[in-house]
Amino acid sequence: MSQPRVLLEIPVEGNNFTTAGEAASRVKRTLQKLGIDSALIRRVSIATYEAEMNIVIHAEYGKIVLQVDAGGVTVLAEDRGKGIPDLNQAMTAGFSTASDRARAMGFGAGMGLPNIKKCTDQLEIDTQVNVGTKVVMKFTYPTTS
Amino acid sequence: MTLEELVKVIDATVVTGHEKLTAKIRGVYVSDLLSDVIGHAQEGQVWLTIQTHTNVVAVALLLNLAAIIFTAGATPDGETVTKAQNEGIVLLTTALSTYETAGRLYRNQQ
Ligand SMILES: Nc1ncnc2c1ncn2[C@@H]1O[C@H](COP(=O)(O)OP(=O)(O)O)[C@@H](O)[C@H]1O
Ligand SMILES: [Mg+2]
């Protein structure tokens, strides 16, 4: 398989709701320019949006990295922050520790990680309490026959 | 129906995207939970919500939604309007309740 190419590396600020979503938009635009299958772009967009929002809502700061290789697309969301003490609980639909402010804005439904799980072909989450979280999301190109 | 027709059906005011009203809508999605919308709304649909902050524009952009309709008299923040203008997202407002808006759109669908 060819060497992965890093196409974007975008910083994400915790608690900045004004620019939230822009990293996902840039990832989407970049993939559109590459002419990638639109159903795949939709999955990448949804997962990246949720991972970006998790940095904004739950972490201090982080970044979104977009990589492509011959097999597909990889998006990495890495942050410094409080980490996730119980990953199984966090993956449960409806579980959320979002603030009241975030909830009033329509975030904190506890559907972000389940959405990410549904949209990715491969998902790895590395997290350490009071250090940070690294979410690696892999999406495989549809096989052409 | 087209956005132009929809505007009449729900007595809407066009905030941004006047040039895009000839587009045909492909359905309606109703929710104020962003994760619900991002996970389920489909391209070409209009989205009924009372959330007015800038992030709704990001969601509409990512999903290629036809328009965001702020119901029940909700009006978008200044920043939301600016962002929608920059990104080419159609914003509409209506004084009708979400129920009445959805009901009229359901009755007029074809
Ligand atoms: N990057 C992160 N840093 C710290 N905690 C996180 C992070 N992402 C998710 N979590 C934890 O997992 C929970 C569930 O996440 P998610 O399913 O996205 O729901 P929501 O963001 O709506 O709360 C969050 O409420 C939070 O406690
Ligand atoms: Mg989340």
Nearest-angstrom CA–CA distance, A127 and A88: 12
**Tell me, what's the pLDDT at A66?**
98
Within 8 A of A42 by CB-CB distance, chain B residues are: 43, 63
Q: What is the pLDDT of residues B59-100, one digit of tens each?
A: 999 999 999 999 999 999 999 999 999 999 999 999 999 999
Specify the DSSP class assigned to residue A72: E
Whether residue B19 has pLDDT greater than 60:
yes
Whether residue A1 has pLDDT greater than 90:
no
| Secondary-structure percent of chain A, ordered helix, strand, coil, rounded to 5 | 35, 30, 35
Nearest-angstrom CA–CA distance, B7 and B45: 14
Contact B36 A111 (CB under 8 A): yes
Res. B109 pLDDT band, cuts 50 70 90: confident
Contact B34 A115 (CB under 8 A): no
Query: How many independent structural domains does chain B possess?
Result: 1
Average pLDDT, chain B: 97
Res. A143 pLDDT band, cuts 50 70 90: confident
Average pLDDT, chain A: 96
Which parts of A71-143 fold into alpha helices (H)? Answer: 87-91, 100-104, 112-119
**Which single residue is written with the structure tokens 């690696």?**
A136
- What mean pLDDT comes out for the span A18-31? 96
Percent of chain B exceeding pLDDT 90 equals 98
End-to-end alpha carbon distance in chain A: 19
Within 8 A of A103 by CB-CB distance, chain B residues are: none
B38: CATH: 3.40.1390.20
A94: CATH: 3.30.565.10
Count how many pairs of residues, chain A against chain B, have C-beta atoms within 8 Å: 62
Q: Whose C-alpha lies nearest to ligand 1, atom 9?
A: A54
| Residue-range definition of the domain harbouring residue A63 | 5-140
Q: What is the pLDDT of residues A117-131, one digit of tens each?
A: 999 999 999 999 999
Contact A109 B61 (CB under 8 A): no
Element (H, E) at A126: strand A122-128
Query: How many independent structural domains does chain A possess?
Result: 1
Contact A21 B55 (CB under 8 A): yes
| Residue-range definition of the domain harbouring residue B87 | 3-107
pTM for the structure as a whole: 0.96
Res. A4 pLDDT band, cuts 50 70 90: confident
Q: What is the pLDDT of residues B25-37, one digit of tens each?
A: 999 999 999 999 9
* Residue A90 maps to a domain: yes
* Residue A145 maps to a domain: no
Cβ of A14 below 6 Å from ligand 1: no
> Candidates A17, A53, A75, A113: which one to mutate for ligand 1, based on the most atoms within 8 Å of Cβ?
A113
* Residue A119 maps to a domain: yes
Q: Which one has a higher pLDDT value, A57 or A1?
A: A57
Q: What is the pLDDT of residues A52-108, one digit of tens each?
A: 999 999 999 999 999 999 999 999 999 999 999 999 999 999 999 999 999 999 999
**Which single residue is written with the structure tokens 């995207």?**
B17
**Tell me, what's the pLDDT at A145?**
56
Within 8 A of A111 by CB-CB distance, chain B residues are: 33, 35-36, 39
Ligand 2 centre distance from Cα of residue A118 (Å): 14
Q: Does residue B98 sit in helix, strand or coil? A: helix
Give the closest of A18, A25, A105 to B79, CB-based.
A18
Ligand closest in space to the Cα of A62: 1
